[in-house]
Amino acid sequence: MTEVEYLDICIELIEKKQKLGSSRHWTIDNFKKLSNLIYTHTHVLISVDTLKRIFGKKRTSRAYSPHVDTKNALAIFLGYSSWEDFKLNFESAPFSDIENVQNKGSDDSIVGLAKVEPTQAQQGSNSIIKLNSKQLLVISFLILIIFIILFFFNTKAPSSSTISTVNEKIFSLKGENLVGKVPHTAVIHYDISELDSKNVQISFGDSTITPLPSSEKIITHVYRIPNYYRIQLIVDGKRVNTDIRVQVNSSGWKSYLFYDKDIDNIKSEIKNGILRVTSEEIYKNGADTTEVYAITYNNIRDFDASGDDMTFETRIKSEAYEITRCATTGINLHGDRGQNFIFTKPGCMEYAFIKCSEMEIKGKYTNLSALALTIDKWHTYKIRVKNKKAQIFCDNNLIYTIGYKEDIGKLRGIIYKFTNGGIIDFVRLYNGENELVYEDNFD
């Protein structure tokens, strides 16, 4: 069978598992629920847009075949170890036979749907199954991976894991206790015994980099600030991305003072419909208000919107125009891949910056004069993301457009960062259907 035919079987099994009838009639809420269920079960986020493409609800120029990681997640959601394992169960089964399979277990026993019994004719002609060397190699590799997972990652706690290679040498990382509130300790199990290098470090995503002794098997780290962090391995100075992310939630807006290489929680106030940190509060926290510091406002949670299909709108103003020669105002929208937009005052274009998924544009090497604005004045900024393209508006004027390729994923956090302070009037977030899913007017 072709990949498309295997996907058709996969779709039908998921439809049966969800018990919502044909996916042709599913609403966006049904796909959001499925996205959340898959993430809860596999710790792999498949965006609503991607699911709609897979299920044929979103038109594509040709038969859509998602990334292998996405297909692996779908297979694991159905009870298989991988996409290859899923395909092996249907390798010789006609698609029509799926209709005849009965699910006699509970909702969680969807794996039983895949056990297709051969017909009488098939039993006669296929009593002996012959596997070629390539198939045997694939099966052997899958058994090895399953053994590693069962042996090394034996835990029932919510977790995320990476099995990868550096210079053809396997290493393993597995995270647990990956979601919580400040202060939060994440636990990383690891095995780097096969790596030749003695210079192995781990980056916890919060500027903390720690040596990783090969003689140990576990390392822990405390997070003090709400954010969405990505764990990386560093081998001989080269960063290796992993699938492990830590989400430290905030329970609303939390403000922080960055000053003199230190970070402190600082009290903010809501007054006259404005969120701000006063200069008096900054002074009480030991910062010299005539020197350079930064204030951040963090709101980390699962927002009901995809970073790939949403509109973000806010009205903000910098309070540092006269203090800092090149003040900046930053908006960071966190998904599995981030979006970061840094605006600066006229004449300071070098410090402007745009990050959208894998794409980064620096004012140092690109003309980003469109982001050099009178940030000491009230402006309404809008960021609209659709079809792998982000549009940036200031006061309803389109000022910049950037395209990208890799999915940003579910929106998990909003962070503002102001050099020497800034104030926020409102925050609004709309999903891909232009429905308001989050709003704060600071009343």
> Which is more confident, 19 or 312?
312
Q: How far apart are CA 147 and CA 164, in angstroms?
A: 15
Whole-number pLDDT of residue 153 = 42
Tokens of 290: 């005539």
Tokens of 212: 């990783």
Q: How far apart are CA 80 and CA 73, in angstroms?
A: 9
What percent of the chain is predicted at pLDDT more than 90? 47
Res. 273 pLDDT band, cuts 50 70 90: very high
Backbone angles phi, psi at 202, to 5 degrees: -125, 135
Distant-in-sequence, close-in-space partners of 294: CB < 8 Å, separation ≥ 6: 257, 258, 259, 417, 418, 419, 420
Averaged pLDDT, 159-166? 66
Strands 389-394 and 379-386: antiparallel
Residue 93 has pLDDT above 80, yes or no: no
Place of tokens 């125009």: 321
Q: How far apart are CA 393 and CA 383, in angstroms?
A: 6
Instruction: Give 30-82 pLDDT, tens digit per residue.
Output: 888 898 899 888 878 787 778 888 888 776 545 677 888 889 999 999 999 88
Whole-number pLDDT of residue 87 = 87
- Fold of the 254-440 domain: Jelly Rolls (2.60.120)
Distant-in-sequence, close-in-space partners of 66: CB < 8 Å, separation ≥ 6: 46, 50, 53, 54
Q: How far apart are CA 439 and CA 443, in angstroms?
A: 11
Whole-number pLDDT of residue 114 = 37
Residue 136 has pLDDT above 70, yes or no: no
- The highest-confidence range among 130-144, 160-174, 278-292, by mean pLDDT, is 278-292
Which alpha helices (H) appear in 225-346, and where do they start and end?
Answer: 279-284
Place of tokens 């939390």: 254
CATH code: domain 154-249 is 2.60.40.10
Residue 214 has pLDDT above 70, yes or no: yes
Tokens of 167: 């210079």
Tell me if 109 sits within 8 A of 103, measured CB to CB: yes
Instruction: Give 384-424 pLDDT, tens digit per residue.
Output: 999 999 999 999 999 999 999 999 999 999 999 999 899 99
Residue 95 has pLDDT above 60, yes or no: no
Res. 85 pLDDT band, cuts 50 70 90: confident
Averaged pLDDT, 259-286? 89
Instruction: Give 167-208 pLDDT, tens digit per residue.
Output: 667 788 899 999 999 899 999 999 888 877 678 899 999 989
Res. 259 pLDDT band, cuts 50 70 90: confident
Res. 334 pLDDT band, cuts 50 70 90: very high
Place of tokens 């709400």: 226
Residue 29 has pLDDT above 70, yes or no: yes
> Which is more confident, 112 or 184?
184
Residue 125 has pLDDT above 70, yes or no: no
Residue 111 has pLDDT above 80, yes or no: no
Tell me if 347 sits within 8 A of 368, measured CB to CB: no
The CA-atom distances, in angstroms, between 10 and each of 45, 55, 89, 114, 424 are 17, 10, 11, 9, 46
> Which is more confident, 441 or 146?
441
Instruction: Give 340-392 pLDDT, tens digit per residue.
Output: 999 999 999 999 999 999 999 999 999 999 999 999 999 999 999 999 999 99
Q: Which of 196, 207, 204, 206 is nearest to 236 (CA)?
A: 196
Tell me if 38 sits within 8 A of 44, measured CB to CB: yes
Helix (H) or strand (E) holding 244: strand 238-249
Q: What is the DSSP string of 358-410?
A: TEEEETTTS--GGGB--TTS-EEEEEEEETTEEEEEETTEEEEEEE--S---B
Averaged pLDDT, 233-245? 86
In the chain, domain spans: 3-125, 154-249, 254-440
Q: How far apart are CA 260 and CA 289, in angstroms?
A: 12
Tokens of 105: 């277990």
Sign of the CA dihedral with 335 first, then 14, 178, and 213 last: negative
Res. 4 pLDDT band, cuts 50 70 90: confident
Averaged pLDDT, 95-111? 39
Whole-number pLDDT of residue 126 = 41
Tokens of 431: 């999903």
